[in-house]
């Protein structure tokens, strides 16, 4: 099962030479014999052998180039091979490559200081991990230890990572093969105006009814048993769902009323992606814990973490926090984070993400919606957008069924292939295309990429039946 197709295959029909083992490069032969890729069957995968990248482009070993509208996995926020980031990693490698996590070092402490400085409210302490899934695992553990409770409430339309606890907390179908998983997770429906679970007629109604549903869920689950409500500030892989104004404030109020920790998963939405340092800043809400990764250092070295409030941190002032990782606060990764935060500031990328969304992406997608019958909805903010494709606008039937694979997924596979054949690498998820380029992308390159999407949508239109 591959709920997410991001796309690991080339999207082109493989030639006989491509399938001929002796004609393959050493890198491809070794990959096919020895590597098991994420979310993939190694018997059917035909990955692109990426040879290099720069800015908003990457290319394969044969020199074929793609405009990276996926930012790989929505993490290369400052683009590929940013010289300042590379220089910082080199400088740190010459000074100190690694150290045990019970030591302190300059790179780690400075990264923590800068991240805490950027975080809202009194979130002043950072626990470093190797990525987003581990960040979620530890945030859940912290909330349980702080509250003395065991249940975690998460949304059905959510993804929090692929480790045991994080996948159990996820709502989307990628969790199915790992079930039964960790106990203590209950789920609720979050707001999604285009496909409202609450039959809402407006964003305000969606907000009110979603909060009423969450309150009812707390009632029947027993609010006194709930340690945390874990939610993506802006839902990422499950649709780039921007919450209606008032929703996050309402979740915060429910948490405060019942002594529940609020965990904002900002792994994908944070560090400028939504036009704010943290997406939650847009709604001026202060959670108890924030999980981060991806954009903190644009994925140049694996890094994630949890930012916690003073109250959560106080729980571990006189008792040991019972968790740790060999590479927690890794100096190379943290030096990259320090440099990356500097790049965001020096190049004004937070404001730039807002302007790219407001002035270029939103108008272009709205024009595509007017031109293409298969475009049912467009939504997003900053450099974080989705085009939702349908067979029928009146019924809103998705272009492909929920969790489609194989022949059922053919329309989206054809659309993705059309993008790649035109030199654009898409982030295709279910019946959606996510528009998530690097924040540093040249404006003309962004416009060119959107034009390619516009052309490729004619392929999706062929499947329209409305």
Domain boundaries, given as residue ranges, for the chain = 4-78+349-461, 83-346
Burial class (CB in 10 A: 0-12, 13-18, 19+), 104: exposed
CATH domain 83-346 topology? 3.40.640
* 432 and 239 Cβ atoms separated by less than 8 Å: yes
Question: Could you tell me whether strands 427-429 and 57-60 are parallel, antiparallel, or unpaired per DSSP bridges?
Answer: unpaired
Give 10-residue mean pLDDT values along the chain (466 residues): 41 42 78 92 92 98 97 98 98 98 98 98 98 98 98 98 96 93 94 97 98 98 98 98 98 98 98 98 98 98 98 97 97 98 98 98 98 98 98 97 93 98 98 98 98 98 95
Q: What are the pLDDT digits (tens) for 350-395? A: 999 999 999 999 999 999 999 999 999 999 999 999 999 999 999 9
| pLDDT for the residue numbered 308 | 98
DSSP 404: -
| pLDDT for the residue numbered 466 | 84
| pLDDT for the residue numbered 24 | 74
Which residues on neighbouring strands pair with residue 60, listed in sequence order?
A: 50
Give every CB contact of residue 321 below 8 A, 6+ residues apart in sequence: 127, 142, 145
| pLDDT for the residue numbered 181 | 87
d(CA 334, CA 374): 44
Vertex 324: Cα angle to 322 and 330 (nearest 5): 155
Count of alpha carbons within 13 angstroms of residue 342, beta-carbon side: 15
Q: What are the pLDDT digits (tens) for 15-61? A: 333 444 445 799 999 999 999 999 998 888 999 999 999 999 999 99
**Which CATH code of 3.90.1150.10, 3.90.1170.50, 2.60.40.10, 3.30.420.40 fits the domain covering 4-78+349-461?**
3.90.1150.10
């Amino acid at each position: 099962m591959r709920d997410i197709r991001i796309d690991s295959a080339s999207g082109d029909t493989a030639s006989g030479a491509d399938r001929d083992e002796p004609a393959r490069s050493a890198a491809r032969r070794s990959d096919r014999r020895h590597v098991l890729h994420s979310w993939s069957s190694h018997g059917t995968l035909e990955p692109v052998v990426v040879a290099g990248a720069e800015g908003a482009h990457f290319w394969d070993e044969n020199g074929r180039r793609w405009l990276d509208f996926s930012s790989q996995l929505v993490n290369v926020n400052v683009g590929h091979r940013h010289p300042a980031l590379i220089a910082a990693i080199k400088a740190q490698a010459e000074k100190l490559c690694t150290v045990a996590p019970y030591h302190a070092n300059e790179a780690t402490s400075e990264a923590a200081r800068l991240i805490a400085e950027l975080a809202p409210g009194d979130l002043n302490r950072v626990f470093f991990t190797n990525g987003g899934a581990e960040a979620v695992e530890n945030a859940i553990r912290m909330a349980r230890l702080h509250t003395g409770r065991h249940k975690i409430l998460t949304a059905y339309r959510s993804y929090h990572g692929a480790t045991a606890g994080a996948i159990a907390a996820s709502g989307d179908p990628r969790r199915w093969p790992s079930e039964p998983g960790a106990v203590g997770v209950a789920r609720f429906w979050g707001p999604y105006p285009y496909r409202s679970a609450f039959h809402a007629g407006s964003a305000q109604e969606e907000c009110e009814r979603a909060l009423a549903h969450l309150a009812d869920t707390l009632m029947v689950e027993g609010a006194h048993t709930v340690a945390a409500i874990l939610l993506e500030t802006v839902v990422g892989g499950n649709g780039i769902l921007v919450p209606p104004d008032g929703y996050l404030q309402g979740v915060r109020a429910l948490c405060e009323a019942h002594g529940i920790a609020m965990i904002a998963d900002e792994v994908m939405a944070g560090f400028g992606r939504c036009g704010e340092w943290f997406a939650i800043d847009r709604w001026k809400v202060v959670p108890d814990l924030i999980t981060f990764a991806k954009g903190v250092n644009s994925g140049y070295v694996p890094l994630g973490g949890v930012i916690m409030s003073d109250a959560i941190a106080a729980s571990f002032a006189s008792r040991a926090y019972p968790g740790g990782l060999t590479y927690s606060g890794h100096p190379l990764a943290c030096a990259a984070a320090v440099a990356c935060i500097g790049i965001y500031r020096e190049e004004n990328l937070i404001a730039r993400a807002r302007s790219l969304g407001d002035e270029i992406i939103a108008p272009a997608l709205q024009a595509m919606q007017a031109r293409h019958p298969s475009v049912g909805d467009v939504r997003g903010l900053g450099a974080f957008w989705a085009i939702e494709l349908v067979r029928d606008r009146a019924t809103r039937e998705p272009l492909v069924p929920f969790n489609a694979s194989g022949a059922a997924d053919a329309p989206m596979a054809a659309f993705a292939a059309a993008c790649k054949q035109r030199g654009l690498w898409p982030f295709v998820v279910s019946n959606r295309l996510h528009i998530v380029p690097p924040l540093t992308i040249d404006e003309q390159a962004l416009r060119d990429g959107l034009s390619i999407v516009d052309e490729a949508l004619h392929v999706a239109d062929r499947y329209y039946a409305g």
